[in-house]
């Protein structure tokens, strides 16, 4: 026969067993995006389409301007997943960070190099000031690759951090910088202010590069593999729905982009609606390009060229074997 004391002890024991499960169930995993350019849409889409709930991923999205800040927040356990560029991820991993890329949604630079209107030829760049978001980040990497393709010496220009895209557009307008990398819809805003679209990165030789990669800590994946798999499903379907439905895609952009001009939003969709990757895999050719670019920095950076150190698509491989991507595409 159970005594009142025994019943009380059993109730306490049951409570102690249940509390961690409740806490774990309520834990929200944060997914970071870096700004308000159109290429951030793969993070916004699953939230807007209700796909986190559909796949049982208890998460939300959060703005952290710049990939470097995202990495810092992840290493401090403030966020669990982040959409960054491959260069930032590679730099962090080479410095010992417990990170790995797990998927990708954009395998090319979405930029145009925008300049003052009097800069028309590569030789006009000599002595000019080029603004980037952050040294070592995607805009910096794209700038270095473009200069190399145009045979413009890195030493002949000044490259420095000049803030986010809005700040760099303002700096162009104020003639504080002479050129910068911008994506849609920011390109339209710069052109409206009288700037010149010097070149599209899609036309620059050797510009294959994983611009959008999803990263997480290896330790987080090991402990939360099921949650990460659920996220990958939501992330992939979000991209697929964005690409396959212009109406849905433009609705996402209309809500999240800083500029509300309908024409700019449509141009942004027309570009990214055909540029994102599905299935959500990282281009290994592009990743090799990123490794080579980083290894050639000044001063030289020692880079491990083994792709397996940076990329783990084992969850995507699981989804592929299960027929997930084919089911989404109706094949």
Domain boundary among 203, 223, 248: 203
Per-residue pLDDT, 167: 96
Per-residue pLDDT tens digits for 13-52: 444 454 444 344 458 999 999 988 899 999 999 999 999 9
Per-residue pLDDT, 294: 82
Q: Residue 215 is part of which domain span?
A: 27-108+209-329
Residues 229, 282 share a domain: yes
| 222 CB-side CA count, 13 A | 6
Token pair listed for 126: 């000599």
Residues 185, 311 share a domain: no
Residues 135, 97 share a domain: no
Per-residue pLDDT, 23: 42
User: Which of the residues in the chain have pLDDT under 70?
Assistant: 1-26, 298-300, 331
Cβ atoms 44, 33 nearer than 8 A: yes
Residues 289, 197 share a domain: no
Domain boundary among 160, 182, 203: 203
User: Other CB atoms closer than 10 Å to residue 246's CB: what's the count?
Assistant: 13
Residues 283, 253 share a domain: yes
Helices and strands in the chain, H and E counts: 15, 10
Per-residue pLDDT tens digits for 85-115: 998 999 999 999 999 999 999 999 989 999 9
**Measured between alpha carbons, how far is 252 from 64 in angstroms, rounded to an integer?**
19
**Measured between alpha carbons, how far is 290 from 294 in angstroms, rounded to an integer?**
6
Per-residue pLDDT, 8: 55
- What is the pairing mode between strands 208-217 and 196-200? unpaired
Closest C-alpha among 316, 110, 301, 81 to residue 211: 110
**Measured between alpha carbons, how far is 108 from 111 in angstroms, rounded to an integer?**
9
Is residue 7 situated within a structural domain? no
Identify the H or E element spanning 107. Answer: strand 99-108
**Measured between alpha carbons, how far is 128 from 131 in angstroms, rounded to an integer?**
10
Per-residue pLDDT, 298: 58
Residues 73, 215 share a domain: yes
Per-residue pLDDT, 157: 98
The domain tally of the chain equals: 2
């Amino acid at each position: 026969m159970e005594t009142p004391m025994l019943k009380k002890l059993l109730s306490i024991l049951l409570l102690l067993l249940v509390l961690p499960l409740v806490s774990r169930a309520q834990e929200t995993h944060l997914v970071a995006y870096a700004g308000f350019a159109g290429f951030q849409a793969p993070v916004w889409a699953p939230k807007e389409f209700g796909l986190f709930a559909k796949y049982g991923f208890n998460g939300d999205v959060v703005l952290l301007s710049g990939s470097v800040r995202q990495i810092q927040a992840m290493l401090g356990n403030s966020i669990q997943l982040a959409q960054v560029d491959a260069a930032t991820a590679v730099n962090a991993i080479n410095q010992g960070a417990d990170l790995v890329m797990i998927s990708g949604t954009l395998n090319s630079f979405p930029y145009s190099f925008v300049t003052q209107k009097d800069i028309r030829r590569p030789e006009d760049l000599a002595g000019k000031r080029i603004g980037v978001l952050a040294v070592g980040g995607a805009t910096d990497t794209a700038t270095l690759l473009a200069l190399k393709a145009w045979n413009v010496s890195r030493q002949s220009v000044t490259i420095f951090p000049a803030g986010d895209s809005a700040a760099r557009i303002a700096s162009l307008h104020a003639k504080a910088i002479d050129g910068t990398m911008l994506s849609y819809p920011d390109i339209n805003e710069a052109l409206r202010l009288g700037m010149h679209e010097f070149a599209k990165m899609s036309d620059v030789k050797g510009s294959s590069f994983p611009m959008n990669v999803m990263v997480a800590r290896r330790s987080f994946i090991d402990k939360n593999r099921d949650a990460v798999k659920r996220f990958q499903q939501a992330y992939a379907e979000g991209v697929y729905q964005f690409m396959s439905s212009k109406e849905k895609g433009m609705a996402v952009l209309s809500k999240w982009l800083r500029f509300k001009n309908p024409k700019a939003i449509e141009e942004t969709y027309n570009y990214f609606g055909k540029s994102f990757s599905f299935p959500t895999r990282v281009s290994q050719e592009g990743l090799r390009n990123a490794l080579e670019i980083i290894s050639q920095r000044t001063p030289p950076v020692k880079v491990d060229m083994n792709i397996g150190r940076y990329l783990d698509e084992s969850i995507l491989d699981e989804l592929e074997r299960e027929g997930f991507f084919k089911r989404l595409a109706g094949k």
